[in-house]
Amino acid sequence: KFVRGVSLKLAVGLMIGTVWYKKADPPLNENIFPMQGALFILTINSVIETLAQTIISFPIYRALLIREYRNGSYSLVAYYVAMMLAKGLLGIVFVFAIVLPIYFMVGLQLNISKFLYFVSLMICMTCIGNALGVAVGATSADLISAQNKLMPTLAPLILFSGYVLPKDQIPKYFVWLYDISFFQYGINAMLLNQFTGLEFEDFNIFKLHIFKTGEQYLKTIGMDPDTHHIENYLGILAGYAVAITFMGYWIIKFILVV
């Protein structure tokens, strides 16, 4: 199962890397949107695929957990910590399996700090997927109801992440969904990581290649590097992962007590 999971991640990474092959190298104005597309797909995939696998796990073991917990076989804290650690460590391996082919095939910036930030962001998004999958799965009595909750949970957060619909075009009564969407923090952090320090090789005002640096482009989309820092976004995503993990614990605890 472990080998199958790694192989699947490698296959997805190779597929994305093939579709967006060398779209970021050399850096060109005309490839800005394709670069964003690759980062968007990767960010969304890191959550959806993990959540889809995790959301069905709790309903499968629900009856067994309730019985053994009430029989005093183990404490809920020990069970939950062990489960989340196992999923987290497995998620880190899967992150490297998908990131390595994509990062180098797409041609993202060859800089060790940027690569480490990239991996850290992916790990945070994967942890969010794991934690959210457990939390939502814990509220489901069976596999069907768990699967039916997948897209209603994620669709609004994806739709109002700022990529499908730019923030300034989101209706005012839906802006709060943009503010709470962890997808927008992940995507914006990816953009900051990739475009900061980037110099476009096809700058030519007469050909409408108007951006000379990545910072210039970021400012046009409201992501001025002087006021938006990747460390802050990384901290927010880590906070989401921790908060949703605790939420999942209390949901399971409530179910066991009831």
pLDDT in the model for residue 224: 92
Under a CB-based contact definition with an 8 Å cutoff, are residues 231 and 237 in contact?
A: no
What percentage of the chain has pLDDT greater than the value 70? Answer: 97
pLDDT in the model for residue 70: 80
* Amino acid at position 4, single letter: R
For 176-205, how does the pLDDT look when each residue is reduced to its tens digit (9 = 90+)? 999 999 999 999 999 999 999 999 887 877
Q: Is the peptide bond before 26 cis (omega within 30 degrees of 0)?
A: yes
For 217-233, how does the pLDDT look when each residue is reduced to its tens digit (9 = 90+)? 999 988 999 999 999 99
**For residues 84, 188, 17 and 215, what is the CA-based torsion angle, rounded to 10 degrees?**
-140
Nearest 5°: CA angle at 192, between 115 and 159? 110
Report the Cα–Cα distance between both ends of the chain, in Å, rounded: 34
139: pLDDT strictly greater than 90: no
CA distances from 78 to 165, 178, 253 (A): 42, 35, 12
For 61-110, how does the pLDDT look when each residue is reduced to its tens digit (9 = 90+)? 877 887 888 888 778 888 899 989 999 999 999 999 999 999 999 999 99
